[in-house]
Amino acid sequence: MSTDTAPAATADATREAARRRTFAIISHPDAGKSTMTEALALHAQVINEAGAVHGKAGRRSTVSDWMDMEKARGISITSAALQFAFGDHVVNLVDTPGHSDFSEDTYRVLSAVDAAVMLIDAAKGLEPQTLKLFRVCKARGLPVITVINKWDRPGLEALALMDEIYRDIGLQPTPLTWPVGIAGDFKGVLERRTGEYVAYTRTAGGATRAPEEWMDADAAAAREGVDWSTAVEESELLEADGATHDQELFLDGITTPVLFASAISNFGVAALLETLVELAPPAAAFAYDKGGTPERREVGEPFSAFVFKVQAGMDTQHRDRVAFARVTSGAFERGMVVTHAQTGRPFATKYAQAIFGRERSALDTAYPGDIIGLVNAGALKPGDTLYLDAPVEFPPIATFAPEHFAVASSADTSKSKQFRKGIDQLDSEGVVQVLRSDLRGNQSPVLAAVGPMQFEVVQARMEAEFGAAIRLETLSYTQARRTDAASAAELDSLRSVEVLQRNDGSYLLLAPDKWRISTIERDHPELTLEPLLAGEA
């Protein structure tokens, strides 16, 4: 970058970074995450009608879900990124897989955002997957905004949900809105910071924005009677308990602002958007290690980005491969030639796009906080770094400990070349971890997954994209530990365990249960056994 343009570029990147709000929605399956994603897009006027029409007749899948499996099952398996303007801000919403089997992909997404929206089903409260993902947010220092969703359906009491959040995850809930009407009878919310009432009006199927009517406390009391009085009394109890928003405590991960909503009815969605741009942090410097010294890549420094997701097969007409990268510093311009930190080779960005589901558009510029889709990025894999001018290499993305294992083999021996190519591609994308050994050979790799549905995705994609149907033989292992080359041979000689190697060079010991791991650690303390990142992080 020449010296005469550097100050202007730095100012542009710094100013644009301050406008960005980049976040992910995390939740347990069926909490309404994809529906909320589209409700936000609807309120931001990105789409005219929500893609999820919830009725037996004419039901459609959400536009963020593009795989056939996603449409058939009504869950999100892949992640997608959506950018839209809201007022003076630019919002980057990164959708995440909606099933616990794909929590590793969700973890990769959380490495690319600055905040998270935790969606809780009003009837079910905090569920195991929600707890796991919250712990990942906590480990990464991500501030969390909580949304109690599905308040239009029967559910738990609002105060009981606040107690559950505090008890189970240790966050102090500080509601910004409070429901008027019990779960299942959602009339509107008390806006706690102003004391006003926001009344909601249903629309047909929730396909369009729900009208909102604001009124003062006296008008609310006259209209809603005892429901308004109850909401006011409960809000006063929260006030007495210190449950009021403090921005510093929120950013420090001590408190979580809470909103009540119904994504399917588009109730409370506008409040979430306004809360995000007001409270969520903007794009900021990224930390990395430079020769053992902690450093920070400031947003105004030359361009850098890191790849958090690689996905192939999104375009049925072309067998392309898209790398999703989070811009961490500087200004991105389509066509610029950057350096791939892991190989030191140049990487051309001619085919940069904004991608949401199967919808694509050319992306000419991007700034810190933005997500860019780099098409035909065969050399890139999750965790890679791209940079311009000043070198930087961000830390690799941690890998989850797999709990399910299966041997894969080609169902048709004449398709061995396609089999190897497909397995290698899915491995590089992070769809599953692929483990190999001299004993098993390249034709019988072991697939390692957080959940068994990942195996179904592998089977479906291998047949659809590579024309190589596969057979899977489930193994009895449930535990994986990292080891090293010096310990591998002796560990591999022990009964009921097996040592295999990942493409990144790591050696993994597979064992049937934790008891077997414990006995090996007791009997062979000289051998290396280290935990991988657990699902609960």
pLDDT at 321 (0 to 100): 81
Domains delineated in the chain = 6-10+17-279 (3.40.50.300), 286-387 (2.40.30.10), 404-531 (3.30.70.3280)
In this prediction, residue 130 carries a pLDDT of 81
| Position 74 pLDDT exceeds 90 | no
Question: What residues does 354 pair with on adjacent strands?
Answer: 361
Mention every residue, 6+ apart, whose C-beta is less than 8 A from residue 251.
143, 281
* pLDDT tens readout for residues 130-171: 887 788 788 888 999 999 999 999 999 999 999 999 999 999
Structure tokens at 363: 């992306």
Q: Predicted confidence band at 91 (pLDDT cuts at 50, 70, 90)?
A: very high
Contact between 323 and 377 under an 8 Å Cβ cutoff? The reply is yes
Residue 433 above 80 pLDDT? yes
- Contact status, residue 329 vs residue 321, Cβ threshold 8 Å: no
Where is average pLDDT lowest: 126-135, 321-330, 408-417?
126-135
Mean pLDDT of 428-445: 91
Which of 164-178, 200-214, 360-374 is predicted most confidently?
A: 164-178
CA 315 vs CA 71, 355, 360, 373: distances in Å: 16, 11, 10, 13
Q: What is the DSSP letter of 205?
A: G
> For the chain, what percentages of helix, strand and coil (3-state, to nearest 5) are there?
30, 30, 40
| The pair of three-digit structure tokens given for residue 95, joined into one six-digit string | 């959708």
The two three-digit tokens of residue 192, written as one number: 């706690």
CB 499 within 8 Å of CB 508: yes
pTM, to two decimals: 0.82
Nearest to 520 by CA among 473, 474, 488, 472: 488
Task: Report the binding-site residues for GTP.
Answer: 95-99
In the structure, what pLDDT confidence band is assigned to residue 26 with cuts at 50, 70 and 90? Answer: confident
CA dihedral sign, ordered 244, 126, 135, 62: negative
Can you list the positions of beta strands (E) in 217-356?
255-260, 286-290, 293-297, 304-312, 321-329, 332-333, 337-340, 345-348, 352-356
> In the predicted model, what is the mean pLDDT of residues 239-261?
96
- The mean pLDDT value for 218-223 works out to 97
What is the phi-psi region of residue 150: left when phi exceeds 0, alpha when psi lies from -120 to 50, beta otherwise? Answer: left
Gap between the Cα atoms of 202 and 151, Å rounded = 13
Q: Is 368 helix (H, G, I), strand (E, B) or coil?
A: coil
Confidence grade of residue 316 (pLDDT, cut at 50, 70, 90): low
CA distances, 530 to each of 465, 488, 508 (Å): 36, 13, 9
Integer Cα distance of 254 and 273 in angstroms: 22
pLDDT band at 208 (very low <50, low <70, confident <90, very high): confident
Among candidate residues 426, 537, 445, the one with its CA nearest the CA of residue 498:
445
* Predicted local distance difference test score (pLDDT) of residue 205: 62
Known binding residues are 95-99
Q: What is the pLDDT of residue 536?
A: 36
* C-alpha dist (Å) from residue 5 to 11, 303, 305, 383: 10, 13, 20, 30
